[in-house]
Structure 1
């Protein structure tokens, strides 16, 4: 049987690019920004808090990688808060900077909710690849150890998480030389601090989670998803794994694919759209 032809990054990024409705800065670095995608109507709009991947490395990807699915959600009546952050290759990135950036960007949603007519009672975190880890980590913030420098008071409540080909278990990822990000980047990201950065250490999250992964993903091995699901369920969390056939890594954020159709169904179901 001929293997399926999978999408490549040029297949995604070479297509016409949609544009956000506004951009909000939450710091002075060029990557400390959020793009806001607003649907038609008066609101208050349900919100997807979106986090891009790229191996936690700014030179690989930034928030614009998510533009196409952000536009698709906007057309379906959902606002998108698409966050950027300093990766491990930027001054101030890594531990604790990357995590503090994502936290600050998430909490800026609350500060801007009235301005953009956003419904803070309906917030779903959606992340792709490394962003899948960060989306789950944002939901885990109330479980951070009291002594952690990443802990902040009153983190933004998240109702649900959808991880698209994510890497939630940093310790398992660091021990997996076949993961597409490599193992050294985990040391750059965490500095060996797993207690407050690797999601399994913070279980149970107390938030429902859906993991959408491709059967033919050559970048993120499927066992990194299945292994996390076992751990999360053992701790009592509601977690579901959705393995999409004939699907690689890029398909997860391309709006015409079966993988995104499944992820979008999950998101809209939670947001009651």
Structure 2
């Protein structure tokens, strides 16, 4: 049987944008098709692309909602193509389904790179909160066939060349211990987002929780990663980014950490503009060819 190719939909031209909406990047039996929207400035220039992964505690959200800091729009303005991707939520499937889904989106983009006007060697990822967790895993497991899954186009690489991670969980087993003094949830509770992701209380399922934790996939060949986190985050403790930064640094990987003073989750309480600008500058350094 020939593998499914999932053709790109007809693009729409809106102003100076070319948009491929609701592209089916994969299908899972008994589940709605997995979709992505791809945006780029109209033209024939080959662009780097950034996959945007939304947050929502793995429980809610989608690729069409307003993103914190207008990040997808800012990327397009900065000369990037953007793929806003979807994934199965924790009420629909347990981990690693979510990782398989975002990998399918990257493989679909790479398969259609010529049609989309995208450079397949310059694909990055940016995620926030739960999307940051998936972005980190995507960056760290691009060479791991055991985590590729069987969703969508399968004969392409799902590796990325850079990752920006905003306040993402990195170790499900240490979140409770690192919780903010005014933390808004018990991460070890059976109803916590982390427990729902793995299918039970994380401390009762250490193997599954570890498998869903980016810190377990750190290696020296990780792509460049930027971590951004508020030091007053009451949802995802800032210790999560500190821990991941330390492990990546110890492994010799290229990693940068920006701790935003006084910022809660979603960087509430801080000026988003310098953080968005710094994150785009990081992508410029890693995804744009040197002159």
Q: TM-score range by the shorter chain?
A: 0.7 to 0.9
After alignment, is 195-204 or 149-158 more displaced?
149-158
Q: 1:173 to 1:238 in 2, by over 3 A?
A: same
**In the superposition, relative to structure 1, how do residues 256 and 239 fare at CA in structure 2: closer, same or farther (>3 Å)?**
closer
C-alpha contact 2:179 2:236 (8 A) present in aligned 1 = no
1:21 to 19, 22, 25: 19
CA 1:251–1:22 in structure 2 vs 1: closer, same or farther (change >3 Å)? Answer: farther
Distance 1:180 1:112, change over 3 A: farther
User: What do you get for the CA RMSD once the two structures are aligned?
Assistant: 2.9
For residues 162 and 40 of structure 1, the distance between their equivalents in structure 2, rounded to whole angstroms, comes to: 25
Aligned to 1:66: 67
For 1:86-143, what per-residue CA distance to the aligned partner results, in whole angstroms no more than 9, with x for missing partners?
11022xx223322221221221111221221111111111111111110111122245
Provide the secondary structure at the position in 2 that maps to 1:121.
strand
Normalised TM-score (structure 2): 0.75
Report the equivalent of 1:11.
Answer: none
> Structure 1: which 5+ runs fail to align?
1-18
Choose from 217, 223, 240 the match for 2:239: 223
Q: Out of 248, 253, 261, which is 1:237 matched to?
A: 253
- Give TM-score scaled by structure 1 length: 0.79
The aligned length equals 249
Question: Do structure 1's residue 164 and structure 2's residue 166 form an aligned pair?
Answer: yes
Q: Using the alignment, how far apart are the partners of 2:148 and 2:121 within structure 1?
A: 27
Pick aligned residue for 2:42 from 40, 43, 46: 40
Match of 2:212 in 1: 197
Which has the higher mean CA deviation after the structures are superposed, 79-88 or 180-189? Answer: 180-189
Check the 8 A contact 1:145/1:196 in 2, yes or no: no
Q: Which has the larger radius of gyration?
A: 2
Of 260-269 and 25-34, deviating more is 25-34
